[in-house]
A and B are shown apart, each in its own frame.
Chain A
Amino acid sequence: MLLVNSFLFCGIVCMIAQIILDNTKLTPGHVTSMFVVFGAVLDSFSFYDKIIKVVGGGALLPITSFGHSLIHGALAKANEYGILGILMGMFDLTATGITAAIIFSFIFTLIFKPKN
């Protein structure tokens, strides 16, 4: 069941993005930034957590989950350390993704040549 939910959720998010992209003058950069902000908004009242519980892995993949992870880590630390925790915990959950992306892209840049 989680597989079907993942298919539907991830597909619908991508479809919304495609519709926005086709019908406005926004570039993919605009749309991805918008979706990150949207994910952060959704999680400020833990709504995205409920989506992840229902949907599973399909909700972790779209870029909205990046915004969710940022604010989720920040709020978890804020619970412990007060207002400074928002700054301390910002990268707690997204660190894996960002670090992995940096390391992999750097290594592959060293190895491969650009193709034109």
Chain B
Amino acid sequence: MKQEKYEMIAKEHKAKNPKLQNAIVAFLIGGVIGMIGEGIIELLCNIFHMSRNNAGTIMIVIMIFIASLSTALGFFDKLVTKFKCGLLIPITGFAHSMTSAALDYKKEGPIYGVGANIFKLAGSVILYGIVAAWFFGMIRYLLGGRI
């Protein structure tokens, strides 16, 4: 293939990276997920007469279950490439990163494969979350007053 022709075809297929469109898609998908979460909470509160705290916990477990299952079934990855942050920032992204890392390294065995790599991506969230929570918790505690 000639160089010029190759460049022309490459230019046509190059991603245009429409930033505005990405932002709107992330807003809509993230918003829908938030709305589903709140909907589940109200459903649990009204049907099973749970307290709002318990309903929130169960809602998060349900979301993690759905995200893990759809990652294992293989179609969550396609959705993530389409919707990006709309799915990565909610707790679904956390579950997705754990399940996909575990599945990717399954062939290397249960210890050095799954066990060593399951926290490959989610580990950074836990690490920096704990360090930040400890640091700011210490500051808040040392400042005193009613916590």
On A, residues with C-beta under 8 Å from B are 2-3, 6-15, 17-19, 21-23, 28-29, 31-33, 35-37, 39-41, 44-45, 56-58, 60-63, 65-67, 70-71, 74-76, 78-79, 83, 86-87, 90, 96-98, 100-102, 104-106, 108-109, 111-115
Contacts and interface: CB of A to CB of B under 8 A. Distances in A.
| Chain B: number of interface residues, binned into ranges | 35 or more
A104 to B, nearest CB: 4
A44 B102 CA distance: 33
5 contacts: A14-B86, A31-B89, A32-B94, A33-B125, A113-B106
Contacts of A70: 129-130, 132-133
B30 A13 contact: yes
The prevalent SS among residues of B at the interface is helix
B93 A32 contact: yes
B11 to A, nearest CB: 21
B57 A66 contact: no
A60 B26 CA distance: 17
Interface string B28-45: 111111110111111000
A10 B31 contact: yes
A101 to B, nearest CB: 5
B147 interface: yes
Given A40-B132, A44-B139, 14 more contacts: A6-B34, A9-B34, A15-B27, A18-B23, A18-B84, A22-B17, A31-B85, A33-B124, A37-B129, A56-B41, A62-B34, A78-B137, A104-B95, A113-B103
